[in-house]
Structure 1
Amino acid sequence: MSLKDLCTIDMIPKLVEAGIDSFKIEGRMKQPDYVYTVVSMYRKYTDLYIQKGAGNYKVEDKDRERLLGVYIRRGYTDGYYERKNGREMISFERPSQKEPPLEYCPPKELQEKINGNLILFSGERAKLVLEYRTGRVECTGGIVQPAMRQPLTGDRVEKQMRKTGNTSFCFDRLSIEMKGEVFLPMQALNELRREGLLRLEECILEDYRRKSPEKLSDGISMDSRYQGTDLKGVLSCVVQTREQLEEALGCAYMEVIYVDSGLGLKKEIRQLILRNRSRCRYYLALPYICRETHAKQWESLYACVSGEGADNGIYDGVLVRNWESLLRLKALGYDKDICLDQNLYVFNRYGKAFINRQGFRQYTAPLELNARELRTLDIQGAVMNVYGYQPVMVTANCILETTDRCRKEEGYTDIRDRCKKRFAVRTCCKYCYNVIYNSEPVFLADLAEEIMELSPGELRLDFTMETREETRRILETYVDAFIHKRSVEAPSSGYTRGHFRRGVK
């Protein structure tokens, strides 16, 4: 599971010539010396390629060693650029820092110079005026008292006022006006300084603060399936097994069934759907990963979804999970319904406008948004996941193949984390990738009233490894909650709300 660090410094010419014009360097949870070394090396060799071209491009051994020294996962890989997957991409040893930090010196915190004027007159409130470029603020503090014993001196006051600490400012010029022998506690001076600096910062930021525009149209029209309806939120589900499909067909309120491609291409399943053709709408859920090397698999898949051959019209549309599949469908002239799954993100109104420009009318609300954010996005008519074990990772590296246990058999295995929680892993051997699912399913049936306020067009249940009995019980629970409007209780344990309550932290 622990991939080595990606290092493509030798491939910069190939990447640029492939059309890439921006390199993203990730440094999450990395030490400053790691970031410094990696950024400086990629800057150096990007400039070298620009200046001298691919013919004179060569990474010096000493620079490669520097990169190796800061990669904390004991080695590096060039990722998937030169391979489909492989054991050599995985680190089987505990990460550790191999070399001491390299010539990194943390920069000093920069502070903007400001001018100030402090006025301390006995019997009046202390007054502080701060100026920065065109910005000017005034604030007042406590009442200045006549000195009884130790009057304030200009030097002492100035020394105290210049203690701006780790704020964004430091004084350039600071004038102090005092009349007679006066006294003000140091704490009062500190509070006056803090208040003034805070107001000055707000004054500066105000000029750069974005004004919230009026709500723009996202340009997306409602899915034709729900036009002219009251958006009651129809039930739909994704199924991976025949037992789950049969239970879904047995549910009188199920209106849309997404059949996983690993199941939906089987002859007996197509015949089962044909026998129940008028029962509801059927969509084929396409694979999570689409490669050029799978052209032959795509031929049979497209024949099924396009209506060519004996099973003409079996599927009303497709559930798409990657942009490569969309491009293939577009190139082939596919003209049936296309629904975008949640990993083709429609995270904001700009995303909604984009998919509308691409001609797509149906999308799945992102799992990462909480209830308030979904309301802001306005998911009226969209698909919303309300149950299921959700994918936490789709990986081209097969866990079984990495550990020399590949049997070329599709199914489920599992991995466990340090807390002994089980994460189911689906091996999709036909397309050679794994899907790792969360250890607990999302359960939102008891929040039906709150969900319906969002006006989703579909309430989708994602079935993965559920048995026939579990599938039936879950369907009954959601029918009670969303169709019959009955109160249902959440399980005592073993479930999650996903991000519906807390969003992304």
Structure 2
Amino acid sequence: MKSPEYTAGVTGIYRKYIDRYYENPSEYYVEKGDIEKLGALYIRSGISQGYYHKYNGRDMITLENPGYTGKDGVLEEKIRKTYLKDDFRLPVAAKARLPEDGEAELVLEWNGICAAVKGDKVQRAKKQPLTEESVKKQLEKCKNTPFYLENLRIQMSEDIFFPVKSLNDLRRKAVKCLEEKIIKANGFCTVRENSVRTPEINKESAAETYREKAEIHILAT
């Protein structure tokens, strides 16, 4: 398993050069400092060429320095501060409406992108009415989502009843809708089923190749 620092550092550098190539292929170049960073992140840097030239071998391990040499504490700390945040979520403004005898509504907004959804019908309370605090508590439960509610406004009738399950469903529905809209607005797309064609395999050719490999193996042994 690679460490979070290694993963964040390496993918960040590769992302930089992929973007650079597509922006201007004719002036593409690699900075020496980034090559050194990759070497510092790789714990076996400088002691082996990995699988580049061979599959296995004695020179792929070190007997003199089992602790390896590639760690850079300063670089790893910088990566942790830049990428490995405990709570990397988007702040969302929210507005909830719960009118008596009407459908509950929830609107989420981030960076000009809005998602408005409707839920179950709000009923008049027969016993204990719904409070604004309980509505806020359920709608702010976004811990396992890409968002957190930075500003929540609630408009609700008095003496109403709305189940906790319905509040949770309304929140999940709105979060999913906003997430899909953000993805769409930023140019991402999903691959439709059957949109990727699998190349056909020539069974006779494959069988012939297998026989040739078997013959080579027998001769070699």
Please, what TM-score do these two structures have when normalized by structure 1? 0.30
Q: Alpha-carbon deviation of 1:112? A: 1.5
Matched, 1:373 2:122: no
**2:164 corresponds to which letter in structure 1?**
M
- 2:3 aligned partner: 31
**1:32 corresponds to which letter in structure 2?**
P
- 1:181 aligned partner: 159
Q: Alpha-carbon deviation of 1:87? A: 5.1
Stretches of structure 2 that go unaligned for 5 or more consecutive residues are 13-30, 217-221
In structure 2, relative to structure 1, the CA distance for the partners of 1:87 and 1:122 (3 Å cut) is closer
Matched, 1:47 2:47: no
Contact 1:127 1:141 in 2 (8 A): yes
Contact 2:93 2:108 in 1 (8 A): yes
1:125-144 alignment runs, 5 A limit: 125-144=103-122
- Which segments of structure 1 move beyond 3 Å, counting only runs of 4 or more? 33-40, 78-81, 83-88, 96-106, 209-212, 382-385
**1:150 corresponds to which letter in structure 2?**
Q
Contact 1:385 1:462 in 2 (8 A): no
Q: Any idea what SS the aligned residue of 1:387 has?
A: helix
1:82-231 alignment runs, 5 A limit: 89-91=59-61, 102=73, 104=77, 105=80, 106-207=84-185, 208-209=187-188
Number of residue equivalences: 182
Quote the Cα distance in structure 1 between the aligned partners of 2:132 and 2:49: 64
Matched, 1:463 2:212: yes
1:392-435 CA distance string (max 9 Å, x none) = xxxxxxxxxxxxxxxxxxxxxxxxxxxxxxxxxxxxxxxxxxxx
- 1:338 aligned partner: none
1:349-374 CA distance string (max 9 Å, x none) = xxxxxxxxxxxxxxxxxxxxxx9411
Contact 1:33 1:101 in 2 (8 A): no
Stretches of structure 1 that go unaligned for 5 or more consecutive residues are 1-28, 50-58, 213-370, 389-459, 468-505
Q: Any idea what SS the aligned residue of 1:123 has?
A: coil
Among 372, 380, 386, the residue aligned to 2:206: 386
Please, what TM-score do these two structures have when normalized by structure 2? 0.62
Q: Alpha-carbon deviation of 1:137? A: 2.4
Quote the Cα distance in structure 2 between the aligned partners of 1:184 and 1:130: 20
In structure 2, relative to structure 1, the CA distance for the partners of 1:174 and 1:374 (3 Å cut) is same
Contact 2:92 2:149 in 1 (8 A): yes
More helix by share: 2
Q: Any idea what SS the aligned residue of 1:386 has?
A: helix
Q: Alpha-carbon deviation of 1:120? A: 0.7
CA RMSD of aligned residues (A): 4.5
Quote the Cα distance in structure 2 between the aligned partners of 1:123 and 1:163: 25
Contact 1:114 1:131 in 2 (8 A): yes
**1:387 corresponds to which letter in structure 2?**
A
In structure 2, relative to structure 1, the CA distance for the partners of 1:159 and 1:77 (3 Å cut) is same
Contact 2:139 2:168 in 1 (8 A): yes
Quote the Cα distance in structure 1 between the aligned partners of 2:183 and 2:115: 13
Q: Any idea what SS the aligned residue of 1:47 has?
A: helix
Quote the Cα distance in structure 2 between the aligned partners of 1:205 and 1:39: 20
Quote the Cα distance in structure 2 between the aligned partners of 1:184 and 1:178: 11
In structure 2, relative to structure 1, the CA distance for the partners of 1:161 and 1:34 (3 Å cut) is same
Q: Any idea what SS the aligned residue of 2:199 has?
A: helix
In structure 2, relative to structure 1, the CA distance for the partners of 1:384 and 1:176 (3 Å cut) is farther
Structure 1 or 2, whichever has the larger Rg, is 1
**2:198 corresponds to which letter in structure 1?**
E
The percent identity for this pair of structures is: 28
1:378-417 alignment runs, 5 A limit: 385-387=205-207
In structure 2, relative to structure 1, the CA distance for the partners of 1:108 and 1:184 (3 Å cut) is same
- 2:48 aligned partner: 77
1:239-258 CA distance string (max 9 Å, x none) = xxxxxxxxxxxxxxxxxxxx
Q: Any idea what SS the aligned residue of 1:107 has?
A: coil
Contact 2:100 2:123 in 1 (8 A): yes
Contact 2:90 2:147 in 1 (8 A): yes
In structure 2, relative to structure 1, the CA distance for the partners of 1:191 and 1:85 (3 Å cut) is closer
**1:169 corresponds to which letter in structure 2?**
F
- Higher relative contact order (Cα pairs below 8 Å, separated by 6+ residues): 2
In structure 2, relative to structure 1, the CA distance for the partners of 1:48 and 1:108 (3 Å cut) is closer
**1:373 corresponds to which letter in structure 2?**
T
Q: Alpha-carbon deviation of 1:76? A: 2.3
In structure 2, relative to structure 1, the CA distance for the partners of 1:127 and 1:97 (3 Å cut) is farther
1:262-281 alignment runs, 5 A limit: none
Contact 1:118 1:177 in 2 (8 A): yes
Quote the Cα distance in structure 1 between the aligned partners of 2:67 and 2:117: 51
Quote the Cα distance in structure 1 between the aligned partners of 2:126 and 2:178: 34
Contact 2:49 2:60 in 1 (8 A): no
